[in-house]
Structure formats: C-alpha cells, structure tokens
Amino acid sequence: MNTLFTNARLIDPEAGTDRLGALLVEDGRIKEIIPASAKLVGKISTQNTIDCAGKCLAPGIVDIGVKVSEPGERHKESFRSAGAAAAAGGVTTMVTRPDTTPAIDNPETLEFVNRRANEAAPVRVLPMSALTRGRQGRQMVEIGFMLDAGAAAFTDCDNVVADSKVLSRCLTYARSLGALVIGHPQDPDLSRGASVTSGKFASLRGLPSVSPMAECMGLDRDLALVELTDVRYHADQITTARSLPRLERAKASGLDVTAGVSIHHLTLNELDIGDFRTFFKVKPPLRSEDDRTAMVQAVASGLIDIISSMHTPQDEESKRLPFEEAASGAVALETLLPAALRLYHASALSLAQLFRAMSLNPSKRLGLDSGRIAPGAPADLVLFDPDAPFVLDRFKLRSKSKNTPFDGQRMQGKIIGTWVGGVSVFGDHA
C-alpha cells in the first residue's frame, strides 16, 4: 500500500524549509521526497494519489501534556473524544498526563490507559507516569516497571514536588534508568491561592495573584537539582521573560534540559481575562503582553523547544463559578494549530519554526523517529490550509468539554486531513 501526496507545500522543520514538492508514503513510512522540479509522470506507480492543491503538508503534531480525563472523569473527556479532537487538530501523537483520578502511578493503571488508548483513539498515544505515588510528593513510583510498561516520561504535573530531598532522590533514580522527568516550575508557596498574574490588571480586579517570579524560583530549584543529578529534564511550561536567562544558562552549561510553553501563553495575555472570564483561567495564569512576546521570540530562537496544547478538559460546572473557585485549564487539541498559525500570520514564526516546536522537537525529546519529513520517518502527517478563515464555535469541538478561550474568535487555518502511519484518521481521504 502506498500513497503519493502531490502538489504539496512541504513543511520540513528539520531542514527549515517550506517548498513545493511531492511525498511518497509506503507501508506507513515516508519513502521519498520528490522536488517540484522533478517529473512525476511515469516515475512512480501508486495505488493512491492525493492532490494537495498547494496546501501545506507537515509532520503531525506531537503534543506533550494532553489530559484525557480517563480514568475518573470520563464525562469530561475520553480517549475516544480526545482522539477524535486530536485527529481533527492535526495531532498525531498525544503524550498524555497522569493527573487523572486516580493518578497513573502504577503499572496496572498504565496498562488500563494503554488498552483504552488502543481501542478508542485513532492517533498514537504515549502515556506519561506520575513521578510520585498519587502525585503526593512523598514516595517515588516504580519508575523501572513504569518504563517497562511504556511510560514516556515522569511528571507530577502541577503538583510540584515541594520536598527537595524527595525530588532529588526521584531524579537520581530516574537518571539511573535514563528516564525523562517533566517538571512544572513553580514555587508552590508563593503561588498558593493565586488565580491570576500579579500586576495592574489583577489588582484592579481584586483577584488573588502571584508574581511570575514564583516560576523563576521553581525553575532555579529544579535546575539546581538537575545539575546535581544529571537527569534528563523538561520544564513543561516557561511563561515569563525572567525565566529565559536561567534556561539559557542551564542549556549553555551542558545540562540535558529542554523547555515548553503552552499555546495559550503564546497567543493570549492577562487582559484577555477581561471581566472574570473563567475560560481564560489556566495554570500558570496568563501573563503580561511583554512576557507573551518574549515567549514567542524564545520559540523563534529555539531557546524554548516545544509548544504544547496543555489540553485540559473542564465541564461547564467547573467553569461556571466565581473566578477564584473555577477550575483551571482549557481544551486545545483542536485549536492548537489554528492558534499557532496566528503567530505565522503575524510574521512572528515561520511554518518550519512552528513545526520544529510542535512536531520535531517533542518527538526528538521523547526519542521518537516521527516529527520529520524525511525518508524512513513514520507517515504521521497533517495537511492544512493556513489561510482559510473561520469563526470558532466551541460547541462544534470534538472534545466532550467545550472550555476553549477561542470561542467566537476569528481564526485562520483549517486542517484538511490527518494521517497516522500513512492511514487517514481525519478528512475526506479516509
């Protein structure tokens, strides 16, 4: 079985190129890239040809940090609904979070996740494990067993391991097994009770706030322990300009450190919260416009490696509350690419830069061979029209939960089709 994608605008994040050509897929992998200048006729016999009509063909998105609310809160999101949303959003690999109820902290629950993912989700699912049992920050999980069961990385998500001694032991043990640990840089004491970033906006609204310095403090602590233990470390979300020099120093000194940022911190700022709109409540809270632009530049320079959706489904009941009481998080699997394209349309990032941060880098960080437009790579692909405009209606999202901050907003960029291992999972080509 082979498929030929012709007349495509190929986005190659590895080479940093964006040019016309054709792409041949054979047995679920990319077989050949054919430049636009080459004659196609008679060269290749295919069973299946897809004319991309000059639209963009890019490596599918590898999204680190997706919350699928199974087990525990299947009414908010299931593997079926999250998988459908991912496929519709061009996400070909979901790296799922362990902050479920109960937490994914033993091989048995991880086995459950693997089974559910296999039977219900059309895209690849790589589950992450908690770092400590119950994400309580006291005892480490069976890191070895979890790796054997397929854990992609270890993280307690937004439950920061406050005890530095516990964390240093977890990191030391993880290091001995070569495991990747994902931290949430945040000082848990300084940020206690906060729901927005401190500053003029928060103060006028009278909302409890936290300085972005809490993130710097958490990052400093984590980086010191990384230096001590030499573990492979990824910071899930860097959201403030003041974290950047710290990150730069750590990378320059040779630590195995990478960093991510959520799409919301790249495309929204604190003022979007407006009159207490809880769909804009995320964790860490939205920052100032200066911080937002600094994050965009850091993605452009490569200092921040990875863009994630930080997909966090919340039902209406968790959001229709006074701002302080409302749950944090936003769904984003389906809106990740259209929102990211705002940065492309604003000339802040090229498409190759975007897919470097959304596909290539996360894939490399997890030791996968996807995320590339290159012979031999899995044919995980997304075909999209970067210019097609639409107005987002949250009730049309495939996620069970509809808590998107982009409801009613004008977006530009529609996903035409998604392929996982050469098999169509979204679009008219199925």
Partner 1 sequence: MTFRQKHLLGIAELQPDDIRTILDLADKYAEQNRAGGPHENVLAGLTQINMFFENSTRTQASFEIAGKRLGANVMNMAMQASSIKKGETLIDTALTLNAMHPDLLVVRHPQSGAVNLLAEKVNCSVLNAGDGAHEHPTQALLDALTIRRKKGRLHRLTVAICGDIAHSRVARSNIHLLGKLDNRIRLIGPSTLMPAGVADWGVEVFDNMAEGLRGADVVMMLRLQKERMDGAFIPSEREYYHRFGLDAQKLAHAKDDAIVMHPGPMNRGVEIDGTLADDIHRSVIQEQVEMGVAVRMAAMDLLARNRKAELQKV
CB 90 within 8 A of CB 415: yes
DSSP state of 243: G
* Alpha-carbon distances of 377 from 123, 332, 374, 385, rounded to whole Å: 16, 26, 6, 23
- Of 276, 409, 412, 423, which lies in the binding site for partner 1, with binding defined by CB under 8 A? 276
The verdict on 290 binding partner 1 (CB under 8 A) reads: no
Q: Does 108 help bind partner 1 (rule: CB under 8 A)?
A: no
Phi, psi of 418 (to 5 degrees): -135, 135
Q: Report strand pairing: 56-59 vs 381-391.
A: antiparallel
DSSP string, 402-429: ---TTTT-EEEEEEEEEEETTEEEEETT
Write down the least CB distance from residue 282 to partner 1, Å.
16
| Region near partner 1 per CB under 8 A, out of 321-329, 374-382, 386-394, 402-410 | 321-329
* DSSP symbols for 29-96: EEEEEEETTS--TTT---SEEEE-TT-EEEEPEEEEEE---TTT-TTT--HHHHHHHHHHTTEEEEEE
In the complex, the smallest distance separating the C-beta of residue 418 from partner 1, rounded to whole angstroms, is 37
Q: Rounded to the nearest whole angstrom, what is the least distance from the CB of residue 326 to partner 1 in the complex? A: 9
Residues 235 and 260 sit within 8 Å (Cβ to Cβ)? yes
Please select the residue that binds partner 1; options are 72, 178, 245, 322, rule is CB under 8 A.
Answer: 322
Collapsing DSSP states into helix, strand and coil, what is residue 119?
A: helix
Handedness of CA 221, 172, 133, 305 (dihedral sign): positive
Contact characters 324-363, partner 1, x per CB under 8 A? xx--------------------------------------
Q: Is 267 helix (H, G, I), strand (E, B) or coil?
A: helix
Interface with partner 1 includes 317 (CB under 8 A)?
Answer: yes
Q: Kindly list the distances between the CA atom of residue 146 and the CA atoms of 78, 109, 130, 150, 416, in Å, as whole numbers in the listed order.
A: 22, 10, 9, 6, 37
Say if CB 92 and CB 61 are below 8 A apart.
yes
Min dist CB 396 to partner 1, Å, is 23
For 58, the token pair is 């890019």
Angle at alpha carbon of residue 343, lines to 207 and 392, rounded to 5°: 70
92 in Cβ contact with 420 (< 8 Å): yes
3-class DSSP state of 234:
strand
CB of 238 to partner 1, least distance (A): 21
Residue type, 264: H
- N- to C-terminal Cα separation, the chain: 14
Task: Quote the least distance from Cβ 290 to partner 1, whole Å.
Answer: 13
CB of 314 to partner 1, least distance (A): 14
Closest CB 265 distance from partner 1, rounded Å:
19
Nearer to partner 1, 322 or 367 (CB): 322
Closest to partner 1 by CB, 150 vs 199, is: 199
Q: Are 156 and 138 spatial neighbours (Cβ–Cβ below 8 Å)?
A: no
Q: Does 297 interact with partner 1 (rule: CB under 8 A)?
A: no
132 binds partner 1 (CB under 8 A): no
| 311 DSSP assignment | B
Per CB under 8 A, the list member of 275, 376, 408, 428 interacting with partner 1 is 275
Size of the site for partner 1 (CB under 8 A): 21
Question: In this chain, which stretch among 64-72, 136-144, 313-321, 377-385 interacts with partner 1, using CB under 8 A?
Answer: 313-321
Instruction: Tell me: does residue 71 bind partner 1 (CB under 8 A).
Output: no
For residue 395, the minimal CB distance to partner 1 (Å) is 18
The Cα 4–Cα 33 span in angstroms is: 10
Q: Which one, 102 or 199, has the nearer CB to partner 1?
A: 199
Least Cβ distance, residue 203 to partner 1 (angstroms): 4
Least Å distance, CB 325 to partner 1, is 7
For residues 234 to 273, the per-residue mask of contacts with partner 1, x marking binding by CB under 8 A and - elsewhere, is ----------------------------------------
Stretch that binds partner 1, among 143-151, 155-163, 314-322, 348-356 (CB under 8 A): 314-322
**What's the sign of the alpha-carbon dihedral 127, 258, 336, 330?**
positive
Q: Is the dihedral of CA 120, 118, 151, 111 positive or negative?
A: positive
Q: Which is nearer to partner 1, 325 or 387 (CB)?
A: 325
Q: Does 282 bind partner 1 (CB under 8 A)?
A: no
Which residue in the set 6, 78, 209, 269 belongs to the binding site for partner 1 (CB under 8 A)?
Answer: 209
CB of 202 or CB of 360, closer to partner 1 = 202
Binding mask of the shown chain, residues 177 to 206, with x at each position contacting partner 1 by CB under 8 A: ---------------------xxxxxxxxx
Helices 164-176 + 213-229 axis angle, to 10 = 50
Q: In the complex, which residues of this chain contact partner 1 (CB under 8 A)? A: 198-207, 209, 211, 275-276, 317, 320-325
